Amino acid sequence: MDALIGYFLYFLSLLSVGGIYALLALGLNVNWGFAGLFNAGIAGFAAVGAYTFSLLTTAESTFHYGGLGLPVVIGEIAAFLIAGIIAAVIGIICIRLRADYLAIATIGIAEIIKLIFKNEVELTNGPRGISKIPRTWEHFSEARYFSSKPLSWFGDSQSWQAFFDSLVNWWWQPLFAMTILFFVFVVYIMLEKARLSPWGRMMTAIRENEVAARAAGKNVTKRRVEAFIIGTMIMGLAGALLAQHLRFIEPTHTFDPSKMTFLVWVMLIAGGSGNNRGAIFGAFLIWFVWSASELFLNGFIDIIGNIFNGMDISMLKNRSGYLRMLLIGLVLQFVLQKYHQNYHQVTLKECLTQWLIYTTGLQERLMVIKNLMGNIQH
């Protein structure tokens, strides 16, 4: 029974994080798929939502300000709104930048946001982070909501009581996962209605031919700012849910650009830019591949170690996390080759080269994303 519960909770964890990534992909789809805005600062905007939620909902602490102990719903709403306010300020300043320049600006802004959270120790506890972040439904585990008496005639009452004692500690987790999926569903429905509305058709026109849209009398700058704000607000909400899932956040590793920016771009590309359902599908697909790949790679490395007795495989195991990058690149290459026949085809050698370059620095990361997005546009 304990093993089954463990597998079930692991699946719920994968489902919850997949839903969070789906929200990030939907927010990015509003930026890029709707308005053609090259937002490469996803990690920073998610951090805004996560820290806003954490500072408002955690208990009072002597290590940092905040700790107001507000309800979780208030924290989620605040994360949604604060991310939008910050996006409005940034959008007004930077939205006129084009393509690479906007990407560079958003990367810089994301790094500035993370540095603020890292250095303002009195506000955010700095690199030590914020812990004991509350989750939706978790407070139900503080009391006994089940009784074994009605089921005692099925078997040993003590066995049933032991099961319910453990059930009290985790039964809220399916509800938390369902809450995340509910947010994904609501955001998807709203974005679909927006896409089919006159506003959505206007955004499509701006994305396809901005000059023609301006000539038709459309306020292109205003619409682009609106798309930037909406997408960033969704990312802020995703950050709040991520903080709940992890229960601990810190500015460096929690919001690593490789996982919180680049991976989200891969998800959107795999699912299809401008397609809300594709963004959700791509998020879950890439996340499950990402999560399962390290387990399979470690198992494969163990098999190699058993075949070649005496072989030191510790170095390979330490590098298994990096091999996931290669695997995700191969998945992305397959998507581009299989489902985008009309686009410029990238050879496998070029794809591998780009992913090796990706690990060397920030500028190279931007060039990889630029090349991949250029392949889709041509």
pLDDT for the residue 121: 87
Overall pTM surpassing 0.75 (yes/no)? yes
Query: Tell me, what amino acid is at 183?
Result: F
Q: Where are the beta strands (DSSP E) in 140-258?
A: 248-249
Report whether 72 contacts 38 (CB < 8 A). no
pLDDT in tens, 87-137: 999 999 888 887 788 999 999 999 999 999 999 888 888 888 998 898 887
Structure tokens at 61: 């602490």
* Residues of the chain predicted below pLDDT 70: 1-3, 62, 138-170, 298-301, 304-305, 308-322, 335-378
Alpha-carbon distance of 150 to 154, in angstroms, equals 9
pLDDT for the residue 96: 83
pLDDT for the residue 167: 55
pLDDT for the residue 342: 43
pLDDT for the residue 60: 80
- Indicate the domain borders of the chain: 2-377
- Helix count and strand count (H, E) for the chain: 18, 2
What backbone torsions phi and psi does residue 131 show, to the nearest 5 degrees?
-120, 180
